[in-house]
């Protein structure tokens, strides 16, 4: 029996044995593999890109008017209410008559209170006395009023709509004066009575207390009425701003 010969063929020998067509296919396959690797690398870079892009977007979200307005405020300073109001009046850059706002961080959730402001906020509120028409609208899920008043006799008919009215703060309640003894008492109800409460899951309160155009002294009186109603001992920090302006921290 003859000896078996073992032949060792290197890559160069293999290359020489390939026909022209086979060699072309091999080159095309290598090119395709290289392109796939490049695409894979690009996809990886794109996956990482949003983090950097998001930061850039955050930096560029503020317009020139806001940046200019922010330059008038010392972020490290705590302002008195009157000084803060005057500063925000100057810093407000809306073309319309903006609204003055208070944003408070308090010690706990569940805080709720009512306050009648000493001066009108300048906002017109539609007040409705609950009746048959009101019940028809509520049955359709329609709410076209800002304040709902109800007599004790109407309350049992309103309660079924508590899930609709409650989250909006529109469910009549004796504590905020929206449950009246008789319809005629609605004339004595003040549209400037505010129901102030924390967010459902966070110890934060957001409310407004007048238009930017309102006199500083009147805005100050409204703001102080709100702070006193919440209770200064309950407030951790408080910021004042307009609809379109930076905020300033005020002393409590």
Whether pLDDT at 14 is above 70: no
The answer to whether residue 233 is domain-embedded is yes
Q: Average pLDDT over the chain, rounded to whole?
A: 81
Q: What is the CATH number of the domain that holds 176?
A: 3.40.50.790
- pLDDT reported for residue 34: 67
Using one digit for the tens of pLDDT, what is the confidence trace for 25-72?
677 777 766 666 654 454 444 444 444 445 555 445 678 888 877 888
Say if residue 104 is in the same domain as residue 208: yes
Say if residue 112 is in the same domain as residue 140: no
pLDDT classification of 6: cutoffs 50, 70, 90: very low
The answer to whether residue 114 is domain-embedded is yes
Q: Using alpha carbons, list the distances in angstroms from residue 63 to 66, 78, 93, 151, 154.
A: 5, 25, 11, 50, 50
Say if residue 95 is in the same domain as residue 139: no
Domain of 143 in residue numbering reads as 125-190
Task: Identify the CA nearest to 144 among candidates 132, 156, 134, 131.
Answer: 134
Strands of 60-183 (E only): list them.
78-79, 99-106, 112-116, 127-129, 147-149
Residue 237 to residue 252: CA distance in whole angstroms: 8
Say if residue 196 is in the same domain as residue 175: no
Whether pLDDT at 20 is above 90: no
More confident residue, 185 or 240: 240
- Domains held by the chain: number: 3
Using one digit for the tens of pLDDT, what is the confidence trace for 167-220?
888 899 887 788 999 888 888 777 788 888 899 899 999 999 999 999 999 999
Domain's final residue, options 170, 190, 210: 190
Residue 126 to residue 105: CA distance in whole angstroms: 30
- pLDDT reported for residue 156: 95
- pLDDT reported for residue 176: 76
The answer to whether residue 215 is domain-embedded is yes
| pLDDT mean over 217-233 | 95
- pLDDT reported for residue 12: 46
Dihedral angle computed from the Cα positions of residues 198, 192, 116 and 172, in that order, rounded to the nearest 10 degrees: -60
- pLDDT reported for residue 47: 43
Contacts of 72 (CB under 8 A, 6+ apart): 87, 90, 91
pLDDT classification of 5: cutoffs 50, 70, 90: very low
Residue 186 to residue 177: CA distance in whole angstroms: 10
Q: Which residue has the tokens 């690398």?
A: 41
Of the listed ranges 53-62, 83-92, 113-122, 149-158, the least confidently predicted one is: 53-62
pLDDT classification of 222: cutoffs 50, 70, 90: very high
- pLDDT reported for residue 63: 81
- pLDDT reported for residue 13: 46
More confident residue, 15 or 203: 203
The answer to whether residue 171 is domain-embedded is yes
- pLDDT reported for residue 22: 65
| pLDDT mean over 213-231 | 95
- pLDDT reported for residue 21: 61
Say if residue 110 is in the same domain as residue 74: yes
Say if residue 149 is in the same domain as residue 129: yes
Strand, helix or coil for residue 69: helix
Whether pLDDT at 161 is above 70: yes
């Amino acid at each position: 029996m003859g000896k078996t010969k073992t032949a060792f063929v290197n890559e160069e020998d293999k290359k020489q044995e390939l026909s022209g067509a086979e060699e072309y296919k091999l080159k095309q396959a290598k090119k395709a593999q290289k392109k796939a690797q490049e695409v894979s690398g690009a996809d990886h870079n794109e996956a990482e890109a949003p983090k950097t892009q998001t930061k850039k977007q955050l930096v560029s979200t503020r317009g020139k008017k806001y940046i200019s307005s922010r330059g008038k405020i010392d972020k490290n300073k705590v302002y008195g209410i009157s000084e803060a109001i005057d500063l925000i009046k100057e810093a407000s850059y809306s073309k319309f008559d903006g609204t003055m706002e208070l944003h408070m961080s308090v010690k706990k959730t569940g805080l709720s209170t009512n306050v009648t402001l000493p001066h009108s906020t300048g906002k017109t509120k539609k007040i409705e006395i609950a009746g048959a028409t009101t019940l028809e609208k509520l049955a359709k899920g329609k709410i076209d009023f800002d304040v709902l008043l109800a007599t004790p006799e109407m309350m049992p008919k309103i309660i079924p709509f508590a899930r609709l009215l409650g989250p909006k703060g529109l469910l009549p309640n004796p504590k905020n004066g929206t449950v009246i003894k008789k319809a005629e008492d609605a004339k004595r109800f003040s549209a400037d009575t505010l129901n102030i409460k924390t967010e459902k899951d966070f110890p934060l309160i957001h409310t407004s207390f007048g238009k930017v155009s309102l006199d500083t002294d009147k805005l100050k009186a409204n703001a102080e009425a709100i702070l006193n109603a919440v209770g200064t001992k309950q407030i951790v920090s408080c910021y004042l701003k307009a609809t379109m302006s930076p905020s300033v921290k005020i002393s409590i």
